[in-house]
A = this chain, B = another copy of it.
Amino acid sequence: MSLPRIAVDAMGGDEGVRVMVHGAALARRRHDKFKFLLVGDEPRIKAALEDHPNMRSASEILHCEDTVAGDERPSRAIRRAKTTSMGLAINAVKAGECGAAVSGGNTGALMAMSKLALRTMPGIDRPALAALIPTLEEHDVIMLDLGANTECDARNLVQFAIMGAAYSRIVTGRTAPRVRLLNIGTESTKGTDDLQRAAQMLGDATGLDLAFEGYVEADKINRGDVDVVVSDGFTGNIALKAMEGSARFVTDLLKTAFSSSLRSKVGFLISRPATELLKHHLDPNNHNGGVFLGLNGVIVKSHGSATADGVANAVAVTARLLESEITDRIAADLAEMDEHSWHNSGRAGAAVASEPAPADPDGSAR
């Protein structure tokens, strides 16, 4: 069976196109079975391909001059789906020409366009944005939702847990990833009604390929003893950004401290390999690639300021998810969590009705 292609939104100016093509070329060295559809300005893409002979035979170009702006409202972007590089990349997935799309553009627009074009997969009420976060241990932890849905009910959270576990099985190789709900305490009385109900449902569920271990507090996300951290998109976005900001804060303080005296400057030079190790571990490029889970197709968000190495990681994540058939895995798990389990567990509010995603596409985060 031939593997499906990956659509790459080669947006932006000369530099933007070059970074995306370079990143895809680096990823192709790791996953050389994959082929690409490069969507964007053809002359720029061709110029960028000059440097990457390994990509030329593996790529088709879909010309398009228009791009979604970084600050463009999702509600406006979705009306330009047929003319923008982002919209055409997503449409290639919708039409079955590609199995996945990667974009470094506007997150809210990418989310809204993907949702509209691809729809959620059967059994999923809302898609979620998931990302890999570094830990003290070997494996990254997966956090979701990071901002696709400002508000979520218990049923959404349970679906996120199932999707996150499927993703974690692929990246960690664990058969039953340890899943926890993000909360302000670990006692069962903590948090919102929806969190408590989701905990009840996950605790009662049987046959799922995950180990539900209750709640996790936000200061324990990085310790390496949890594989999937589940939350609504508002809370997940706050936690992720707080962690990013705090890591930057500490490294900024460290820089200031190291440059505070001649002695500490000398010490810094000597211990450079150590601080480089730290820098490497914290570099967001090494954890690049947010995945929208729960759609009929794989959509991956690369960070807007990612380097070619960062883009390569996002494309490699995409290739891995496609290869592992993430969508089928999620569908199989959802089948385990059948109607009986949903109804049986929704004690407090009973049945926890399915609720459609909000109509306003601007409601999603970043």
CA distance A246 to B284 in the complex (A): 14
What is the CB-to-nearest-CB distance from A259 to chain B, in angstroms, rounded to a whole number? Answer: 8
Give A229-244 interface residues, CB cut-off 8 Å to B. 233-235, 237-244
Say yes or no: B247 contacts A218, CB within 8 Å.
no
Interface stretch (choices A20-28, A171-179, A204-212, A250-258): A250-258
Are B241 and A238 in contact, CB atoms less than 8 angstroms apart? Answer: no
Known interface pairs A219-B244, A245-B222, A246-B246; A253-B366 also in contact (CB < 8 Å): no
Question: Which residues of chain A from 142 to 196 have a CB within 8 Å of any chain B CB?
Answer: 147, 150-151, 182, 184-185, 189-192
Q: Are B275 and A257 touching (Cβ within 8 A)?
A: yes
Name the B residues within 8 Å of A277 (CB-CB).
Answer: 253, 257, 260
Partner-binding segment picked from A42-50, A263-271, A289-297, A299-307: A263-271
Q: A222-B246, A242-B239 are in contact. Are A253 and B270 (CB under 8 A)?
A: no
User: Could you say how many copies of this chain the assembly holds?
Assistant: 2
**Complex partner residue of A239 from B191, B218, B247, CB under 8 angstroms:** B218
- Tell whether A2 is near chain B: CB-to-CB under 8 Å: no
Main SS of chain A's interface residues? helix
- A275 vs B223: C-alpha distance in the bound complex, in angstroms? 22
Contacting residues, chain B, for A249 (C-beta < 8 A): 136, 222, 243, 247
A72 to chain B, nearest CB (A): 12
Q: Is A273 among interface residues, defined by CB-CB distance under 8 A?
A: yes
Say yes or no: is A348 at the interface (Cβ < 8 Å to chain B). no
Is A261 on the interface with B (CB-CB < 8 A)? yes
A186, chain B: closest CB distance, angstroms: 10
Any chain B CB within 8 A of the CB of A350? Answer: no
A29 / chain B contacts, CB cutoff of 8 Å: none
A241 and B254 contact, CB distance less than 8 A? no
Q: Are A267 and B272 in contact (CB under 8 A)?
A: yes
- Which residues in B have their C-beta under 8 angstroms from that of A264? 270-271, 273-274
B271 pairs with A234, CB closer than 8 A = no
Interface, chain A (partner B; CB < 8 A): 136, 147, 150-151, 182, 184-185, 189-192, 217-223, 233-235, 237-254, 257-258, 260-261, 263-264, 266-275, 277-278, 281-282, 360, 362-363, 365-366
List 16 A-B residue pairs with CB atoms under 8 Å apart, sorted by A's residue number: A136-B252, A150-B192, A151-B192, A182-B238, A184-B365, A218-B238, A218-B242, A218-B245, A221-B245, A239-B239, A243-B245, A253-B281, A257-B278, A263-B271, A264-B270, A267-B270
